[in-house]
Chain A
Protein backbone atom coordinates (compact mmCIF):
# COMPACT_ATOMS: atom_id res chain seq x y z
CA UNK A 1 0.00 0.00 0.00
CA UNK A 2 1.23 3.41 -0.82
CA UNK A 3 2.35 5.75 1.90
CA UNK A 4 1.59 8.83 -0.16
CA UNK A 5 4.12 10.86 -2.05
CA UNK A 6 7.27 11.56 -0.20
CA UNK A 7 8.14 15.21 -0.39
CA UNK A 8 11.73 15.72 0.53
CA UNK A 9 12.57 19.36 1.00
CA UNK A 10 15.80 20.77 2.34
CA UNK A 11 15.13 22.89 5.42
CA UNK A 12 17.61 25.45 6.63
CA UNK A 13 17.91 27.96 9.38
CA UNK A 14 19.62 31.19 8.44
CA UNK A 15 20.80 32.65 11.71
CA UNK A 16 22.29 35.90 12.89
CA UNK A 17 24.09 35.47 16.17
CA UNK A 18 25.37 37.98 18.67
CA UNK A 19 25.74 41.73 18.48
CA UNK A 20 25.82 42.07 14.74
CA UNK A 21 23.17 44.08 12.98
CA UNK A 22 24.28 43.49 9.41
CA UNK A 23 21.66 41.29 7.86
CA UNK A 24 21.84 42.10 4.16
CA UNK A 25 23.93 39.01 3.52
CA UNK A 26 21.54 36.84 5.51
CA UNK A 27 18.59 38.19 3.53
CA UNK A 28 20.33 37.60 0.22
CA UNK A 29 21.23 34.03 1.10
CA UNK A 30 17.72 33.36 2.49
CA UNK A 31 16.25 34.47 -0.78
CA UNK A 32 18.71 32.49 -2.86
CA UNK A 33 17.93 29.36 -0.83
CA UNK A 34 14.22 29.97 -1.29
CA UNK A 35 14.69 30.28 -5.04
CA UNK A 36 16.66 27.04 -4.96
CA UNK A 37 13.56 25.37 -3.52
CA UNK A 38 14.71 25.20 0.11
CA UNK A 39 12.53 26.03 3.07
CA UNK A 40 14.30 28.79 4.92
CA UNK A 41 13.64 29.76 8.49
CA UNK A 42 15.11 33.13 9.31
CA UNK A 43 16.07 33.71 12.92
CA UNK A 44 15.99 37.48 13.00
CA UNK A 45 18.77 39.65 14.40
CA UNK A 46 20.79 39.52 17.61
CA UNK A 47 20.15 35.92 18.60
CA UNK A 48 21.93 34.26 21.47
CA UNK A 49 23.54 30.89 20.77
CA UNK A 50 20.85 29.14 22.89
CA UNK A 51 18.13 30.66 20.74
CA UNK A 52 19.80 29.41 17.59
CA UNK A 53 20.05 25.95 19.12
CA UNK A 54 16.40 26.00 20.19
CA UNK A 55 15.35 27.00 16.69
CA UNK A 56 17.58 24.46 14.94
CA UNK A 57 16.33 21.62 17.16
CA UNK A 58 12.64 22.46 17.00
CA UNK A 59 12.65 23.18 13.30
CA UNK A 60 14.68 20.03 12.62
CA UNK A 61 16.72 21.75 9.95
CA UNK A 62 19.13 20.00 7.61
CA UNK A 63 21.34 23.06 7.35
CA UNK A 64 22.26 25.72 9.84
CA UNK A 65 23.77 28.74 8.12
CA UNK A 66 25.28 31.22 10.54
CA UNK A 67 25.94 34.67 9.21
CA UNK A 68 28.49 36.54 11.25
CA UNK A 69 30.35 39.75 10.57
CA UNK A 70 31.16 40.87 14.09
CA UNK A 71 34.38 38.95 14.61
CA UNK A 72 32.98 37.00 17.55
CA UNK A 73 32.83 33.72 15.61
CA UNK A 74 35.43 31.96 17.76
CA UNK A 75 33.26 32.43 20.84
CA UNK A 76 29.75 32.09 19.49
CA UNK A 77 29.92 29.34 16.90
CA UNK A 78 31.43 26.66 19.17
CA UNK A 79 28.67 27.46 21.67
CA UNK A 80 26.01 26.80 19.05
CA UNK A 81 27.66 23.53 18.08
CA UNK A 82 27.90 22.44 21.72
CA UNK A 83 24.20 23.13 22.09
CA UNK A 84 23.34 21.06 19.04
CA UNK A 85 25.35 18.18 20.45
CA UNK A 86 23.52 18.45 23.75
CA UNK A 87 20.22 17.81 21.97
CA UNK A 88 21.67 15.11 19.73
CA UNK A 89 21.13 17.29 16.71
CA UNK A 90 24.70 17.91 15.60
CA UNK A 91 25.27 14.71 13.67
CA UNK A 92 22.65 15.40 11.03
CA UNK A 93 22.83 19.18 10.86
CA UNK A 94 25.16 20.66 8.31
CA UNK A 95 26.68 23.76 9.90
CA UNK A 96 27.98 26.38 7.49
CA UNK A 97 29.24 29.88 8.18
CA UNK A 98 29.07 32.98 6.02
CA UNK A 99 30.70 36.33 6.59
CA UNK A 100 34.06 37.66 7.57
CA UNK A 101 36.26 34.95 9.06
CA UNK A 102 40.05 35.48 8.97
CA UNK A 103 42.06 32.70 7.38
CA UNK A 104 43.80 31.80 10.65
CA UNK A 105 40.49 31.09 12.42
CA UNK A 106 39.13 28.73 9.81
CA UNK A 107 40.92 25.56 10.84
CA UNK A 108 39.72 25.85 14.44
CA UNK A 109 36.12 26.43 13.40
CA UNK A 110 36.24 23.45 11.08
CA UNK A 111 37.72 21.34 13.85
CA UNK A 112 34.84 22.45 16.05
CA UNK A 113 32.36 21.10 13.50
CA UNK A 114 31.76 23.76 10.85
CA UNK A 115 31.48 22.07 7.48
CA UNK A 116 32.43 25.06 5.34
CA UNK A 117 33.03 28.79 5.54
CA UNK A 118 31.90 31.08 2.75
CA UNK A 119 33.58 34.45 2.58
CA UNK A 120 32.53 37.60 0.74
CA UNK A 121 32.19 37.17 -3.00
CA UNK A 122 31.31 33.49 -2.93
CA UNK A 123 28.97 32.79 -5.86
CA UNK A 124 25.52 31.93 -4.55
CA UNK A 125 25.40 28.80 -6.67
CA UNK A 126 28.55 27.49 -5.00
CA UNK A 127 26.88 27.66 -1.58
CA UNK A 128 23.68 26.07 -2.86
CA UNK A 129 25.59 23.25 -4.56
CA UNK A 130 27.59 22.66 -1.39
CA UNK A 131 24.40 22.34 0.62
CA UNK A 132 22.79 19.98 -1.89
CA UNK A 133 25.84 17.74 -1.94
CA UNK A 134 26.41 17.67 1.79
CA UNK A 135 23.06 17.45 3.57
CA UNK A 136 23.16 14.21 5.43
CA UNK A 137 19.70 12.75 5.13
Chain B
Protein backbone atom coordinates (compact mmCIF):
# COMPACT_ATOMS: atom_id res chain seq x y z
CA UNK B 1 0.00 0.00 0.00
CA UNK B 2 1.29 3.47 -0.88
CA UNK B 3 1.97 6.09 1.74
CA UNK B 4 -1.04 8.07 0.53
CA UNK B 5 -3.15 4.90 0.77
CA UNK B 6 -2.17 4.49 4.41
CA UNK B 7 -2.92 8.15 5.12
CA UNK B 8 -6.36 7.83 3.53
CA UNK B 9 -7.07 4.73 5.54
CA UNK B 10 -6.02 6.39 8.80
CA UNK B 11 -8.14 9.44 8.01
CA UNK B 12 -11.09 7.20 7.16
CA UNK B 13 -10.81 5.21 10.39
CA UNK B 14 -10.55 8.36 12.51
CA UNK B 15 -13.48 9.79 10.57
CA UNK B 16 -15.67 6.85 11.51
CA UNK B 17 -15.99 5.24 8.07
CA UNK B 18 -16.94 1.60 8.43
CA UNK B 19 -15.43 0.66 5.12
CA UNK B 20 -12.08 2.17 6.10
CA UNK B 21 -12.10 0.34 9.43
CA UNK B 22 -12.91 -2.94 7.70
CA UNK B 23 -10.15 -2.38 5.18
CA UNK B 24 -7.68 -1.36 7.90
CA UNK B 25 -8.30 -4.63 9.76
CA UNK B 26 -7.79 -6.59 6.52
CA UNK B 27 -4.53 -4.76 5.91
CA UNK B 28 -3.43 -5.63 9.44
CA UNK B 29 -4.58 -9.22 9.18
CA UNK B 30 -2.84 -9.86 5.87
CA UNK B 31 0.30 -8.05 6.96
CA UNK B 32 -0.01 -6.07 3.75
CA UNK B 33 2.73 -3.56 2.95
CA UNK B 34 2.11 -0.42 4.95
CA UNK B 35 0.34 -2.15 7.82
CA UNK B 36 3.05 -1.12 10.25
CA UNK B 37 2.70 2.54 9.32
CA UNK B 38 -1.04 2.13 9.66
CA UNK B 39 -0.95 0.70 13.17
CA UNK B 40 1.75 3.18 14.15
CA UNK B 41 -0.41 6.10 13.04
CA UNK B 42 -3.49 4.76 14.81
CA UNK B 43 -1.71 4.15 18.10
CA UNK B 44 -1.79 7.83 19.11
CA UNK B 45 -5.59 7.76 18.98
CA UNK B 46 -6.07 4.77 21.25
CA UNK B 47 -6.45 4.29 24.98
CA UNK B 48 -10.12 5.09 25.46
CA UNK B 49 -11.67 1.68 24.96
CA UNK B 50 -12.18 -0.98 27.60
CA UNK B 51 -11.16 -4.34 26.25
CA UNK B 52 -13.03 -7.40 27.46
CA UNK B 53 -11.82 -10.90 26.61
CA UNK B 54 -14.29 -13.77 26.58
CA UNK B 55 -12.99 -17.31 26.63
CA UNK B 56 -14.28 -20.77 27.45
CA UNK B 57 -14.75 -24.23 26.03
CA UNK B 58 -16.45 -24.73 22.64
CA UNK B 59 -20.21 -24.60 22.93
CA UNK B 60 -20.18 -22.85 26.31
CA UNK B 61 -22.14 -19.99 24.79
CA UNK B 62 -19.42 -17.42 24.16
CA UNK B 63 -20.88 -16.03 20.95
CA UNK B 64 -24.40 -15.82 22.35
CA UNK B 65 -23.15 -14.07 25.49
CA UNK B 66 -21.05 -11.67 23.44
CA UNK B 67 -24.11 -10.83 21.37
CA UNK B 68 -26.15 -10.05 24.48
CA UNK B 69 -23.29 -8.08 26.03
CA UNK B 70 -23.02 -5.98 22.90
CA UNK B 71 -26.76 -5.40 22.95
CA UNK B 72 -26.74 -4.29 26.61
CA UNK B 73 -23.85 -1.93 26.00
CA UNK B 74 -25.75 -0.47 23.06
CA UNK B 75 -28.80 0.01 25.29
CA UNK B 76 -26.55 2.02 27.59
CA UNK B 77 -25.55 4.24 24.70
CA UNK B 78 -22.08 2.81 24.19
CA UNK B 79 -20.52 1.76 20.91
CA UNK B 80 -19.08 -1.72 20.62
CA UNK B 81 -16.45 -3.51 18.59
CA UNK B 82 -16.33 -7.29 18.54
CA UNK B 83 -13.50 -9.50 17.33
CA UNK B 84 -14.40 -13.18 17.22
CA UNK B 85 -11.60 -15.64 16.58
CA UNK B 86 -12.27 -19.12 15.26
CA UNK B 87 -9.75 -21.86 14.50
CA UNK B 88 -8.19 -22.35 11.09
CA UNK B 89 -7.71 -25.71 9.43
CA UNK B 90 -4.25 -27.16 9.99
CA UNK B 91 -4.59 -28.82 6.58
CA UNK B 92 -5.86 -26.21 4.16
CA UNK B 93 -5.38 -23.04 6.19
CA UNK B 94 -9.03 -22.32 5.51
CA UNK B 95 -11.65 -21.69 8.14
CA UNK B 96 -15.35 -21.49 8.70
CA UNK B 97 -16.04 -18.51 10.94
CA UNK B 98 -19.42 -19.09 12.46
CA UNK B 99 -19.63 -16.70 15.41
CA UNK B 100 -21.54 -14.17 13.40
CA UNK B 101 -24.57 -16.42 13.26
CA UNK B 102 -25.20 -15.71 16.95
CA UNK B 103 -25.08 -11.95 16.53
CA UNK B 104 -28.84 -11.80 16.17
CA UNK B 105 -29.51 -8.95 18.59
CA UNK B 106 -27.42 -6.41 16.75
CA UNK B 107 -28.42 -6.83 13.14
CA UNK B 108 -28.66 -3.65 11.17
CA UNK B 109 -26.88 -1.75 13.95
CA UNK B 110 -23.66 -0.53 12.38
CA UNK B 111 -22.58 0.89 15.76
CA UNK B 112 -21.71 -2.70 16.61
CA UNK B 113 -18.72 -3.51 14.45
CA UNK B 114 -18.38 -7.27 14.34
CA UNK B 115 -15.35 -8.85 12.78
CA UNK B 116 -14.57 -12.53 12.43
CA UNK B 117 -10.93 -13.54 12.41
CA UNK B 118 -9.28 -16.85 11.72
CA UNK B 119 -6.56 -17.90 14.16
CA UNK B 120 -4.38 -18.52 11.08
CA UNK B 121 -2.52 -21.36 12.65
CA UNK B 122 -1.80 -19.65 15.94
CA UNK B 123 -2.37 -21.63 19.09
CA UNK B 124 -3.29 -19.71 22.18
CA UNK B 125 -6.79 -18.72 21.19
CA UNK B 126 -6.08 -15.52 19.28
CA UNK B 127 -4.41 -14.64 15.99
CA UNK B 128 -1.21 -12.62 15.75
CA UNK B 129 -3.16 -9.72 14.32
CA UNK B 130 -5.77 -9.55 17.06
CA UNK B 131 -3.90 -6.98 19.13
CA UNK B 132 -3.41 -4.67 16.16
CA UNK B 133 -7.06 -5.08 15.16
CA UNK B 134 -8.02 -3.92 18.66
CA UNK B 135 -5.85 -0.85 18.08
CA UNK B 136 -7.89 -0.09 14.95
CA UNK B 137 -11.23 -0.46 16.76
CA UNK B 138 -9.98 1.67 19.65
CA UNK B 139 -8.79 4.42 17.32
CA UNK B 140 -12.11 4.24 15.49
CA UNK B 141 -13.69 5.29 18.78
CA UNK B 142 -15.40 2.17 20.08
CA UNK B 143 -16.19 2.44 23.80
CA UNK B 144 -16.07 -1.29 24.49
CA UNK B 145 -14.15 -3.92 22.58
CA UNK B 146 -15.06 -7.55 23.14
CA UNK B 147 -12.62 -10.21 22.04
CA UNK B 148 -14.00 -13.70 21.76
CA UNK B 149 -11.33 -16.39 21.64
CA UNK B 150 -11.25 -19.73 19.94
CA UNK B 151 -13.13 -22.27 22.03
CA UNK B 152 -10.47 -22.87 24.60
CA UNK B 153 -9.57 -25.91 26.62
CA UNK B 154 -6.71 -25.48 28.99
CA UNK B 155 -3.88 -23.41 27.73
CA UNK B 156 -5.39 -20.87 25.38
CA UNK B 157 -4.52 -18.00 27.63
CA UNK B 158 -3.22 -15.37 25.19
CA UNK B 159 -6.32 -13.31 25.82
CA UNK B 160 -4.84 -12.29 29.17
CA UNK B 161 -2.15 -10.35 27.40
CA UNK B 162 -4.71 -8.58 25.25
CA UNK B 163 -7.73 -7.76 27.38
CA UNK B 164 -8.23 -5.53 30.42
CA UNK B 165 -10.81 -7.89 31.88
CA UNK B 166 -10.97 -11.61 31.17
CA UNK B 167 -14.31 -13.39 31.35
CA UNK B 168 -14.14 -17.18 31.51
CA UNK B 169 -17.29 -19.05 30.54
CA UNK B 170 -17.95 -22.38 32.20
CA UNK B 171 -20.57 -24.93 31.25
CA UNK B 172 -22.66 -26.48 33.96
CA UNK B 173 -23.11 -30.19 34.20
CA UNK B 174 -19.82 -31.71 35.10
CA UNK B 175 -17.38 -31.20 37.87
CA UNK B 176 -14.83 -32.67 35.51
CA UNK B 177 -15.07 -29.60 33.38
CA UNK B 178 -14.06 -27.48 36.26
CA UNK B 179 -11.28 -29.85 37.18
CA UNK B 180 -9.98 -29.54 33.67
CA UNK B 181 -9.93 -25.81 33.94
CA UNK B 182 -7.76 -25.92 37.00
CA UNK B 183 -4.35 -25.60 35.45
CA UNK B 184 -4.74 -22.93 32.78
CA UNK B 185 -7.95 -21.07 32.37
CA UNK B 186 -8.88 -20.90 36.01
CA UNK B 187 -5.83 -18.80 36.60
CA UNK B 188 -6.67 -16.11 34.08
CA UNK B 189 -10.29 -15.25 34.79
CA UNK B 190 -11.21 -11.96 36.42
CA UNK B 191 -14.87 -12.85 36.13
CA UNK B 192 -16.33 -16.33 35.81
CA UNK B 193 -19.65 -16.90 34.16
CA UNK B 194 -21.61 -20.09 34.57
CA UNK B 195 -23.74 -19.90 31.47
CA UNK B 196 -26.83 -22.00 30.81
CA UNK B 197 -27.62 -21.51 34.50
CA UNK B 198 -31.03 -23.11 33.98
CA UNK B 199 -29.43 -26.46 33.22
CA UNK B 200 -29.17 -29.27 35.72
CA UNK B 201 -25.98 -29.15 37.66
CA UNK B 202 -25.48 -25.39 37.33
CA UNK B 203 -25.63 -24.85 41.08
CA UNK B 204 -23.01 -27.52 41.66
CA UNK B 205 -20.76 -25.98 39.07
CA UNK B 206 -21.11 -22.58 40.70
CA UNK B 207 -20.22 -24.05 44.08
CA UNK B 208 -17.29 -26.03 42.68
CA UNK B 209 -16.02 -22.98 40.90
CA UNK B 210 -16.21 -20.79 43.97
CA UNK B 211 -14.41 -23.39 45.98
CA UNK B 212 -11.70 -23.66 43.39
CA UNK B 213 -11.26 -19.91 43.17
CA UNK B 214 -11.22 -19.73 46.91
CA UNK B 215 -8.32 -22.18 46.92
CA UNK B 216 -6.59 -20.33 44.16
CA UNK B 217 -6.50 -17.13 46.11
CA UNK B 218 -5.68 -18.86 49.33
CA UNK B 219 -7.80 -16.30 51.10
CA UNK B 220 -10.12 -17.11 53.97
CA UNK B 221 -12.86 -14.69 53.08
CA UNK B 222 -14.75 -13.88 49.97
CA UNK B 223 -15.32 -16.65 47.50
CA UNK B 224 -17.74 -18.70 49.55
CA UNK B 225 -19.74 -15.61 50.37
CA UNK B 226 -20.78 -14.61 46.88
CA UNK B 227 -24.45 -14.44 46.20
CA UNK B 228 -24.95 -15.72 42.71
CA UNK B 229 -27.18 -13.56 40.54
CA UNK B 230 -26.65 -9.96 41.44
CA UNK B 231 -23.59 -10.53 43.55
CA UNK B 232 -21.32 -7.57 43.86
CA UNK B 233 -17.64 -7.67 43.12
CA UNK B 234 -15.57 -7.96 46.22
CA UNK B 235 -12.78 -5.80 44.85
CA UNK B 236 -14.46 -2.73 46.28
CA UNK B 237 -14.23 -3.95 49.83
CA UNK B 238 -11.44 -2.42 51.85
CA UNK B 239 -10.67 -5.85 53.30
CA UNK B 240 -9.82 -7.24 49.95
CA UNK B 241 -7.64 -4.41 48.82
CA UNK B 242 -4.47 -6.18 49.84
CA UNK B 243 -5.49 -9.38 48.07
CA UNK B 244 -6.31 -7.56 44.88
CA UNK B 245 -9.32 -8.55 42.84
CA UNK B 246 -11.41 -11.47 44.01
CA UNK B 247 -12.79 -13.23 40.94
CA UNK B 248 -16.55 -13.12 40.86
CA UNK B 249 -18.81 -15.94 39.75
CA UNK B 250 -21.92 -14.94 37.87
CA UNK B 251 -24.76 -17.04 36.52
CA UNK B 252 -26.26 -16.23 33.16
CA UNK B 253 -28.70 -17.63 30.66
CA UNK B 254 -27.28 -15.98 27.60
CA UNK B 255 -30.03 -17.07 25.22
CA UNK B 256 -32.54 -15.22 27.42
CA UNK B 257 -30.22 -12.36 28.27
CA UNK B 258 -30.58 -13.23 31.95
CA UNK B 259 -27.72 -12.17 34.21
CA UNK B 260 -26.14 -10.03 31.52
CA UNK B 261 -26.75 -6.79 33.41
CA UNK B 262 -25.07 -8.28 36.48
CA UNK B 263 -22.15 -9.24 34.30
CA UNK B 264 -21.85 -5.73 32.93
CA UNK B 265 -21.95 -4.26 36.44
CA UNK B 266 -19.17 -6.62 37.47
CA UNK B 267 -17.14 -5.74 34.40
CA UNK B 268 -17.52 -2.08 35.29
CA UNK B 269 -16.47 -2.82 38.86
CA UNK B 270 -13.41 -4.67 37.66
CA UNK B 271 -12.41 -1.85 35.37
CA UNK B 272 -12.86 0.63 38.20
CA UNK B 273 -10.71 -1.60 40.37
CA UNK B 274 -8.01 -1.72 37.68
CA UNK B 275 -8.06 2.04 37.36
CA UNK B 276 -8.03 2.81 41.09
CA UNK B 277 -5.24 0.44 41.97
CA UNK B 278 -3.02 1.44 39.08
CA UNK B 279 -3.25 -2.12 37.78
CA UNK B 280 -4.62 -0.86 34.47
CA UNK B 281 -1.49 1.14 33.98
CA UNK B 282 0.74 -1.77 34.96
CA UNK B 283 -1.06 -4.16 32.60
CA UNK B 284 -0.74 -1.72 29.76
CA UNK B 285 2.96 -1.31 30.40
CA UNK B 286 3.46 -5.09 30.42
CA UNK B 287 1.48 -5.36 27.22
CA UNK B 288 3.56 -2.77 25.40
CA UNK B 289 6.82 -4.21 26.69
CA UNK B 290 5.83 -7.58 25.30
CA UNK B 291 4.71 -6.04 22.05
CA UNK B 292 8.04 -4.26 21.60
CA UNK B 293 9.97 -7.44 22.37
CA UNK B 294 7.83 -9.45 20.02
CA UNK B 295 8.32 -6.93 17.20
CA UNK B 296 12.06 -6.84 17.79
CA UNK B 297 12.25 -10.61 17.70
CA UNK B 298 10.38 -10.92 14.44
CA UNK B 299 12.21 -7.98 12.85
CA UNK B 300 15.58 -9.34 13.91
CA UNK B 301 14.56 -12.74 12.57
CA UNK B 302 13.71 -11.32 9.14
CA UNK B 303 16.92 -9.29 9.14
CA UNK B 304 18.80 -12.53 9.74
CA UNK B 305 16.86 -14.31 7.00
CA UNK B 306 18.21 -11.66 4.64
CA UNK B 307 21.74 -12.27 5.88
CA UNK B 308 21.36 -16.02 5.37
CA UNK B 309 20.43 -15.34 1.77
CA UNK B 310 23.45 -13.08 1.40
CA UNK B 311 25.67 -15.94 2.56
CA UNK B 312 24.38 -18.14 -0.21
CA UNK B 313 21.20 -19.41 1.37
CA UNK B 314 20.50 -21.99 4.02
CA UNK B 315 21.09 -24.96 1.71
CA UNK B 316 24.64 -23.87 0.96
CA UNK B 317 25.37 -23.33 4.64
CA UNK B 318 23.97 -26.71 5.55
CA UNK B 319 26.02 -28.35 2.80
CA UNK B 320 29.19 -26.96 4.35
CA UNK B 321 28.21 -28.15 7.79
CA UNK B 322 27.18 -31.55 6.53
CA UNK B 323 30.50 -31.96 4.68
CA UNK B 324 32.20 -31.21 8.01
CA UNK B 325 33.91 -28.20 6.44
CA UNK B 326 32.49 -26.04 9.16
CA UNK B 327 30.06 -26.29 12.06
CA UNK B 328 26.78 -24.64 13.04
CA UNK B 329 28.40 -22.38 15.63
CA UNK B 330 30.96 -20.98 13.22
CA UNK B 331 28.26 -20.39 10.63
CA UNK B 332 26.11 -18.52 13.15
CA UNK B 333 29.08 -16.42 14.23
CA UNK B 334 30.00 -15.66 10.64
CA UNK B 335 26.53 -14.39 9.87
CA UNK B 336 26.06 -12.47 13.08
CA UNK B 337 29.53 -10.94 13.44
CA UNK B 338 29.13 -8.17 10.83
CA UNK B 339 25.80 -7.18 12.40
CA UNK B 340 27.28 -7.11 15.89
CA UNK B 341 30.24 -5.04 14.62
CA UNK B 342 27.85 -2.65 12.99
CA UNK B 343 25.87 -2.24 16.20
CA UNK B 344 29.09 -1.63 18.15
CA UNK B 345 30.24 1.02 15.68
CA UNK B 346 26.88 2.78 15.79
CA UNK B 347 26.95 2.85 19.55
CA UNK B 348 30.37 4.55 19.77
Contact = CB atoms under 8 A, between A and B. Distances in A.
B172 to A, nearest CB: 26
Contacts of A100: none
A35 B303 CA distance: 34
Measured as residues with beta carbon below 8 angstroms from the partner, the interface class of chain B is 35 or more
B92 interface: yes
Question: Secondary structure at chain B's binding surface: helix, strand, loop or mixed?
Answer: mixed
Interface in A21-52: 30-31, 33-44, 47-48, 50-51
Contacts of B88: 39
Contact of A39 (B36, B94, B100, B110): B94
Interface residues of A toward B: which range?
Answer: 35 or more
A6 interface: yes
B328 interface: no
Given A48-B108, A50-B108, A87-B19, A35 B94 contact: yes
Contacts of B100: 41-44, 55, 59
A34 B114 contact: no
Contacts of B298: 4
Chain A CB within 10 Å, residue with most, of B18, B89, B120 = B18
Contacts of A47: 107
B22 A59 contact: yes
Interface in A53-74: 54-55, 57-60
Most central of A7, A33, A88 by chain B CB within 10 Å: A7
Interface string B84-123: 0000110111111110110010011010011110101000
B31 to A, nearest CB: 5
Nearest to B32: A6
A60 B22 contact: yes
B25 interface: yes
Given A48-B108, A51-B107, A54-B110, A60 B96 contact: no
